[in-house]
Chains A and B, each alone.
Chain A
Amino acid sequence: MSVLELEGVSRQFGGLRAVDGVTLSIGSGITALIGPNGAGKTTLFNLMSGLLPVSSGRIRFRGQDITKLPAHRRAKLGMARTLQIKQVFAGLTVLENTWIAARQRHRPLDPFRPAANDRATRAAAEAALETMGLEAMAGRQAGSLAYGDIALLEIAMALATQPALLLLDEPVCGMSPSETERTVARIRTLSATTDVVIVEHDMDVVFGLADRVVVLAEGRVLADGPPAVIAREPAVREAYLGEDEEAA
């Protein structure tokens, strides 16, 4: 059963086809989306999450056509995502960040009841922090966290919405090797309860985590299959993995 289905999805920026007729069924487990810089991975996430409208094509999420829905409606349906350029509510505390995320499922615009009295939301917010190992920082201002912790907080916020599908855009980018290792372990844990699509450049992370790898190049799906098969594809090695080795 696929959670998310894309049918001929395209997005044009002027003359550039950043995403060009992508047809994909995102199933269960962890799907890695790889491809060289500028392949259209972030743009595809923007189309899935509703930050950008498609130029053509259809998107279905949990059986519902969401092509025309704004981002907040998709989030309410159970889609969560993190941004490639990490963003949290910098002026609020770490706990307030996940609290806001967790509260969106239950009377989010209640103007009267004090937020501090909402025990259930607080518990959910704390649980999300715990999953990402941030519970010790709950009272800190989010903007004062180290870069790696901000990335973790962003994932915690996404998790606090209790998503059915989680889109992670380069989650370990900028993290130290030990942070990366811990984050990978946490992503593996959370994938037990939610389906994940991860955009990642670190091939150790990709092949260590993914149940399935989709390769994107110039806005098109170049290859799609289990990691072991993808690693052997000549076209993939040439278009992407080769380039990666050069860069390394």
Chain B
Amino acid sequence: MSALSVNRALTLLLLIALVAAPPLLGWMEVDFWLVVLTEILIWGLLASSANLLFGQVGLLSFGQALYFGFGMYGVAIGIDRFGLGLWPAMGLGIAASLGMAAVAGLVAVRLTWHYFAIITVVFSLIFYFLALRLKPITGGDDGLSFAAPPILDWGSLRLTLGDDATQYWFVLLIVVLAFALQARLRASALGRAFAAVREGERKASLLGIDVLRVRWIAFVIAGGLAGLAGALFALFGRYASATHMYYTVSGEAVVWTVLGGAGTLLGPAIGAALLILVREELSTVWEHYPLIVGALTIAVVVFAPKGIAGGWNLMLARVLGR
């Protein structure tokens, strides 16, 4: 039995558990966790966008909230101002984040390490303050709230986000598709070009890899993933606000990624799940709960530098004797 097949089996089990969560949680009479789980899926998707850049291409972005925000406002403005349906509004959100990433990426990918991190923060701060200022478009401090259009409306078949289970399955479907796409990407020639650029950009260029172009492609895809997460988040809250464009949101995505395991497929989502659960459980009990988050993150970074998923893979390799 290989580590790969163990992980595949576990992923399948996780998927089954996630699909079955609504009736399962209902049966255990803890329905309120379904909404938390929906949120975890969305934040896990945002973390995966930071991971695509950091874990796969080696670029540390502290600005993914910007593209998250474009996805979020794209949906809110699409529905509230243009009267779009749910799917076209999502399309607008994703297109906006892709476009923004395509432009910002032209500048950002010329830089690496802390310079790259700084420019990504700077971009996101500019648009954060713009979002606060442009009240007629974004609603400023108050944000934009809207009524969510139905997911599907085919005569007698009508699916809406108003039902928690439907909303959860809708988010799950899209998040699973986004992760499947990332799995596909990792296994492709482009995924290997990402790895080459991460492992040694000079060597990569000497082999014929256009490093800037590869980084730009990753930047745009990551922007699109963050935008998708933002679009889902707006639909989930029926609300868009500049708060979720602030750089602390980007920072959380990085912390989730590092904690869960940068470079692994599911690590970022695992990190997001863990820290959101800690928050949910502790924030009501103890106001200084971020201390625990900090301690947990430091412990993982010290004892498992490759994060939870990385540590798991290492252990698996040892147990299976390789």
Contacts and interface: CB of A to CB of B under 8 A. Distances in A.
A124 to B, nearest CB: 13
Interface in B284-322: none
Contacts, number: 102
Interface string B198-220: 11101111111111011001000
Contacts of B209: 72, 100, 104, 108
A111 B193 CA distance: 10
Contacts of B206: 49, 51, 71-72, 75, 80-81, 83, 158
A116 B207 contact: no
A13 interface: no
Majority SS of interface residues in chain B?
A: helix
Contact of B193 (A81, A90, A100): A100
Contacts of B147: none
A96 B192 contact: yes
Interface residues on A, range: 35 or more
Interface in A153-211: 157-158, 161
Among B187, B192, B193, B214, max chain A CB count under 10 A is at B192
B12 interface: no
B174 interface: no
Interface residues of B, number: 27
Given A80-B206, A109-B217, A118 B211 contact: no
Contacts of B187: 114-116
B200 A87 contact: yes
Contact of B211 (A72, A87, A101, A111): A72
A66 B144 CA distance: 54
Given A72-B207, A72-B210, 11 more contacts: A75-B205, A83-B206, A89-B196, A89-B199, A89-B200, A92-B195, A103-B189, A110-B188, A111-B191, A112-B184, A157-B207
6 contacts: A72-B210, A83-B203, A109-B190, A109-B193, A109-B217, A115-B192
Interface of B: 184-185, 187-193, 195-196, 198-200, 202-211, 213-214, 217
